[in-house]
Chain A
Amino acid sequence: MAAVDTAVEAPKTKNPHAHNRFATIRRPDPVARETKIEAKDVSVIYGTKEAVHGVSIDIPAQAVTAFIGPSGCGKSTFLRCFNRMNDTIPGCRVLGQLNMDGEDLNDHALDVVLLRARVGMVFQKPNPFPKSIYENIVYGPRIHGLASKKADLDEIVERSLARAGLWNEVKDRLHEPGTGLSGGQQQRLCIARAIAVSPEVILMDEPCSALDPIATGTVEELIHELKQNYTIIIVTHSMSQAQRVSDRTAYFHLGDLVEEGPTKTIFEDPQEPRTKDYISGVFG
């Protein structure tokens, strides 16, 4: 993070937390999209280091938004603001406004427990609980009291696994440990687990980085289907994955949102030299 001070040519504004350090290039979208989440001047500070500098972006509903950028650019940190996962890190502060359907997610009075039921998350490494497949799925519904009867839970398990494209593979071994599945299956189990609490938004933090190409393909197809019902934000290091799965792409660089717009536009006609360099593989 020391690089923050060296590589930026734009002058700092008076209040470093108030604005992006230079204007984000915003590319028009040919399709009109309904906004699900609106971020305004969001900054994230770890102790004394600012990892994200006043980022503003609109996340469209029922679409896939990809966050791309080199390591340490703050894209994962920014992603974790959407379900307040940064709260679990000691010394981490989030400034600015994040409105989901008009409600400020960054409000301290907001119940993060309920928020996380609405905004699910899938992590970089598949992290099924060391319980059975069934128990993994019903974990969320149980703690939120969505269902208590066996029949209802069974239905949630079947529906979630079916949506995650895993039902046919595991329906005969629901009571075997989730950790016994293959990496790709584990990741789809984690997606099913997130779906089980009926979220509105699903955050995915490099969901395929621990998977082989075949499992990656399966998960990408799944993402494609899921966007009919959910708003998806995905952080990825793979440029081709961003092109394959996302409708909009946002390019982050050293904590700044450099350029954002329709995926096709960003990849075919990047305006910012840094975006151009990154997607053509000059650095990253």
Chain B
Amino acid sequence: MNTFITLAIVLIALSFVYTWGAAASRRVASQTGEKLHSRPPYYGLYLVLWCAIPAAIIFIVYSLITPTIETVIIQSYFPQEVLNDAAELANQTRQVESIAGGFGMFGEPAPYQVQAAAALKNVEWIGKMALVALIAVAAVAGTLVARTRISPEFRARNRIETAIEMLLITCSAIAVLTTVGIVLSVLGEAVRFFTFVNPIDFFLGTSWNPRFSTTGHGGQGDFGLLPLLWGTLMITIIAMIVAVPIGLMAAVYLSEYAGPKFRFVAKPMLEVLAGIPTIVYGIFAAFTVGPFLSTMGDAVGLDINATSAFTAGIVMGIMIIPFVSSLSDDIISQVPQSLRDGSYGLGATRSETIRRVILPAALPGIVGAFLLAVSRAIGETMIVVLAAGNSPVLTANPFEAVSTVTVTIVNQLTGDTDFASPQSLVAFALGLTLFVITLCLNVVAIYIVRKYREQYE
């Protein structure tokens, strides 16, 4: 309830500031008799920005530094032996926080803990009051400063434009910085992993056998990437063999042959395939497709494992079909009608036109779609976890069980893990490898797609 009241106060204050600014601009205009540069709402918005932004900055800074200050205050009450024990320190700090928050703790608190809690409560209260006061001062000061600037020549409209640009920049920066943050955190852990295992052994090793039980550096197992990478590659190839022809031909049918009514129904239905959670595909692969393929293999004398690269690849291919077809369909539709007319006008049939004019014209875009699909397949996890068999061996036989990079990451990070051991840290190195591979593929794909677009624009 408190939050709602605060929010309501803020909104009311801001709308008051807005109205005041707009009215002030009108007053200034009528007093001086000059025409305002911008319409009154812009002056109102300008005041709102000056009211809200400094206050918001103070609030953000407060939220960032308070936890540190509070921890320092709590720990100043702790005896030396607690301070020396990292785990106990963290535990007791949490206990003091919960006493101060009114939740109490299990067992009887030590006197110094009670003191710390009281001090913390006190500091929290002072902090909150100070925050409210600071915010109020900042808001009022900001508003007044902005108010003095209102004059007919003042370009409030242009300022608002700049502010909106800043807002948009901030939003895109968040997306970009998140990516950078993910890379950095993975990179940090991966570097830690490479202090345990030689990068050459990792990237070129042909054996994957990280023994969980062993400790120390002597027998920590083999961390060869190649069997996993090969498993990923094999499944991806099988998936592409399934997805590309079917997806491409579906796209050609949809964009060139199907009537508008059929297209209207069929395209969303095909895209539903893309919306099915991959775990459902995984179940489908492990319990329906796998046994079916195995039985079929028996019939023709092939020894197909129910969980194998083949099973996972086929189901992953089915998953990727809508991805390929939807992208290709968009690209084929972008080929100008005039090229089709030109080809028909020379007496070419529909399939000749598609084969000799439309597909060559759309080829760069289709290659881009293909690469995006590949990077999708490489990163896919749930299908392979359930259907690839999880057997990290180098084998050229697609009918045998394999393991992939993604499956191994899941395996290494589930269950009881010690984040200081190479057995867990290897997951970050694997993740980084995967990230770099898909990043490269995406960059190439985007480059190709963009180059193609330029042709018709």
In the complex the two chains form, is B347's CB within 8 Å of A129's CB?
Answer: no
Q: 1/0 per residue A104-120: CB within 8 Å of B?
A: 00000000111111001
A-B contact pairs, 9 of them (CB 8 A): A83-B345, A85-B345, A88-B340, A116-B344, A123-B338, A129-B357, A139-B348, A143-B346, A143-B347
State whether A120 touches B361 (Cβ < 8 A): no
Q: A120-B346, A143-B346 are in contact. Are A130 and B360 (CB under 8 A)?
A: yes
* A197 interface residue per 8 A CB criterion: yes
Is B153 in contact with chain A by the CB < 8 A criterion? no
Within 8 A of A (CB), among B322-368: 336, 338-349, 352, 356-357, 360-361
A129 touches B349 (CB 8 A): no
Q: Is the CB of B345 within 8 A of A143?
A: no
B259 at the interface (CB under 8 A from A): yes
CB-based contact B338/A127 at 8 Å = yes
**Which residues of chain A are near B361, meaning CB under 8 Å?**
129-130
CB <8 Å contact, A144 and B344: no
Q: Size of chain A's interface in residues, with CB distance under 8 A?
A: 28
When distances are taken between beta carbons in the complex, the residues of chain B under 8 Å from A193 are 342, 346
A residues 113-139 near B (Cβ < 8 Å) are 113-117, 120-121, 123, 125, 127-131, 139
B254 CB to nearest A CB, Å: 15
Q: How far, in Å, is A176 (CB) from chain B's closest CB?
A: 15
B344 with A85: CB separation less than 8 A: yes
CA distance A123 to B341 in the complex (A): 8
A129-B357, A130-B455 known; A115+B339 contact, CB < 8 A = no
A interface list, Cβ under 8 A from B: 83, 85, 88, 90, 112-117, 120-121, 123, 125, 127-131, 139-140, 143-144, 179, 190, 193-194, 197
The 5 A-B pairs with the shortest beta carbon distances in the complex, nearest first, are A116-B347, A121-B345, A127-B338, A140-B346, A117-B347
A179 touches B455 (CB 8 A): yes
- Which listed residue (B336, B340, B356, B455) contacts A139, Cβ 8 A? B356
With A130-B360, A131-B360, A143-B352 known to touch, is A116 a contact of B345 (CB < 8 Å)? yes
A115 touches B347 (CB 8 A): yes
Q: How far is the CA of A90 from the CA of B261 in the complex (A)?
A: 12
Which residues of B are at the interface with A, using a C-beta cutoff of 8 A? 259-260, 336, 338-349, 352, 356-357, 360-361, 455
Q: Are B346 and A116 in contact (CB under 8 A)?
A: yes
Please determine whether A113 and B338 come into contact, CB atoms closer than 8 angstroms.
Answer: no
Residue in chain A with minimal CB distance to B352: A143
Q: Which residues of B contact A123 (CB under 8 A)?
A: 338, 341-342, 345
Known contacts A140-B346, A144-B347, A127 near B352 by CB under 8 Å: no
Please determine whether B336 and A127 come into contact, CB atoms closer than 8 angstroms.
Answer: yes
Residues from chain B with a CB closer than 8 A to the CB of A114 are 347
Closest to B350 in A: A88
A40 CB to closest chain B CB (Å) equals 24
CA distance A117 to B260 in the complex (A): 29
Q: Report the separation of the CA atoms of residues A179 and B455 in the bound assembly, to the nearest whole angstrom.
A: 9
Minimal beta-carbon separation of B388 from chain A (angstroms): 41
Contact B347 A190 (CB under 8 A): no
Chain B residues with CB under 8 Å of A115's CB are 347
Residue of B nearest to A113 (CB): B347
Tell me, in angstroms, the Cα distance from A114 to B347 when the chains sit together.
6
Give the CA-CA distance A193 to B344 in the complex, in Å.
Answer: 12
Chain A residues lying within 8 Å of B348, measured Cβ to Cβ, are: 113, 139-140, 143
